[in-house]
């Protein structure tokens, strides 16, 4: 089927209309969605009151769903092996303690990041399904890392072309005050740091993009502080308003994005009404 696509950002992001994901999609539609992701990076499917089985069936069209094993994220309500909840509340409806391991872990979503860059292979696609929203939900912001790379000077592109960056979940979470004692004892063993290129080339489009995240700790071969300063500078460059799409959540939105050439972040929310976004995703098939 041909998708009904409407661009909604400056250089990327689009809304997909006239589709009901509860009915499932066929191979042709899945291919059209892949094509749209390669062009737009972020796709908004509005009015999709899906359940877990429908979300799972949808994501399976794009690859094996990623397992979610982090003890810090799992609750009885989000015990599904492939889901977790980007949530403001515990299962009993009480606010998540911002100083608990779960609270600190989720609060790091306020930092610009790319899902799963701390793993090898990293995430390729993410799907968030709005299951519960407050009256005025905080937007989620997305950055177009392809446009950001294209806007760099020739000299800067040449300088960073072959750089490799170490990513670590413990680095991003330390920015929120998480200490190693806040993690399960085996966390350091099962989540070692990984190395990814700073510049990625999209296999489908051939376009280059920056690959950054809050997990990006330092540049391999450079003094740590020098590499960190470069990562911060590039992150600031890539998240200028001209490269950003801000998504204002509506009830039953499903947002899907390509993690290989976009970054995103949550924005602060001080209200007490619950917000639950159900997360699932697909990894790259090979190391990056």
* Residue 224 C-beta: closest distance to Fe ion, Å: 25
Q: Which stretch binds Fe ion (CB under 5 A): 113-121, 179-187, 195-203, 210-218?
A: 113-121
**Distant-in-sequence, close-in-space partners of 25: CB < 8 Å, separation ≥ 6:** 19, 33, 58, 61
Point out which span in 107-115, 133-141, 159-167, 195-203 binds Fe ion (CB under 5 A): 107-115
Residue 147: phi and psi, rounded to 5, are -65, -35
Query: Please, which residue, 58 or 279, has the CB nearer to Fe ion?
Result: 279
The answer to whether the CB of 217 falls within 8 A of the CB of 228 is yes
Segment interacting with Fe ion (CB under 5 A) among 110-118, 145-153, 156-164, 214-222: 110-118
Q: Which residue is nearest to Fe ion (CB)?
A: 115
Report the residue number, 19 or 125, with the smaller CB distance to Fe ion: 125
Part in contact with Fe ion (CB under 5 A); list of ranges 5-13, 108-116, 129-137, 194-202 = 108-116
**Restricting to residues 137-156, which ones interact with Fe ion according to CB under 5 A?**
none
Distance from C-alpha of 199 to C-alpha of 189, rounded to nearest angstrom: 28
| Choices 68-76, 115-123, 139-147, 242-250 (CB under 5 A): range interacting with Fe ion | 115-123
In the chain, what is the straight-line distance between the N-terminal and C-terminal CA atoms, in Å?
A: 32
Based on CB atoms, which residue is closest to Fe ion, 70 or 229?
Answer: 70
In the list 72, 115, 253, 259, the residue contacting Fe ion (rule: CB under 5 A) is 115
The least distance separating Fe ion from the CB of residue 109, rounded to whole angstroms, comes to: 5
Q: How far is CA 240 from CA 64, 143, 207, 251, in A?
A: 34, 8, 20, 28
- Please state whether 150 falls in left (phi above 0), alpha (psi between -120 and 50) or beta: alpha
Q: Is 258 in the site for Fe ion (CB under 5 A)?
A: no
> In terms of CB distance, is 156 or 175 closer to Fe ion?
175
At residue 171, the 3 state secondary structure works out as helix
Helix boundaries (H) for 1-60: 27-40, 52-59
Work out how close the CB of 239 gets to Fe ion at its nearest, in angstroms, rounded to a whole number. Answer: 14
What single string gives the DSSP state of each residue in 253-286? -EEEEETTSEEEEE------S--EEEEEEEE-SS
Smallest separation, CB 86 to Fe ion (Å):
7
Q: State the Cα–Cα distance between residues 72 and 109, nearest whole angstrom.
A: 14
Nearest residue (CB) to Fe ion, 118 versus 209: 118
Number of residues that bind Fe ion (CB under 5 A): 1
Nearest to 80 by CA among 60, 106, 52, 116: 52
- Stated as kind and residue range, the H or E segment containing 189 is helix 187-190
Residues of this chain that interact with Fe ion (CB under 5 A) are: 115
């Amino acid at each position: 089927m041909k998708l009904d696509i409407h661009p909604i950002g400056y250089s990327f992001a689009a809304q997909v209309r006239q589709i009901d994901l509860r009915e499932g999609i066929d191979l042709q539609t899945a291919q059209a969605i892949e094509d749209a992701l390669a062009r737009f990076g972020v796709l908004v499917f509005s009015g999709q009151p899906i359940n877990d089985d429908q979300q799972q069936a949808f994501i399976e069209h794009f690859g094996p769903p990623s397992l979610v094993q982090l003890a810090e994220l799992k609750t009885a309500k989000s015990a599904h092996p492939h889901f977790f909840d980007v949530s403001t509340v515990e299962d009993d409806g009480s606010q998540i303690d911002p100083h608990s391991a779960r609270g600190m872990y989720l609060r790091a979503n306020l930092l610009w990041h790319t899902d799963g860059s701390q793993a090898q292979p990293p995430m390729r696609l993410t799907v968030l399904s709005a299951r519960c929203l407050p009256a005025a939900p905080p937007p989620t912001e997305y950055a177009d890392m392809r446009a950001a790379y294209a806007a760099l000077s020739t000299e800067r592109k040449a300088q960073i072309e072959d750089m490799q960056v170490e990513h670590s979940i413990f680095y991003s979470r330390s920015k929120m005050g998480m200490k190693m004692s806040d993690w399960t004892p085996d966390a350091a063993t099962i989540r070692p740091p990984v190395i990814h290129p700073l510049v990625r080339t999209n296999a489908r489009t051939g376009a280059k993009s920056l690959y950054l995240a809050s997990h990006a700790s330092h540049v391999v071969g450079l003094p740590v502080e020098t590499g960190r300063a470069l990562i911060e500078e590039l992150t600031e460059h890539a998240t200028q308003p001209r490269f950003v799409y801000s998504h204002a959540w509506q009830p039953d939105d499903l947002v899907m994005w390509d993690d290989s050439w976009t970054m995103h972040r949550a924005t602060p929310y001080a209200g007490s009404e619950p917000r639950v976004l159900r997360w699932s995703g697909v990894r790259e098939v090979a190391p990056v």
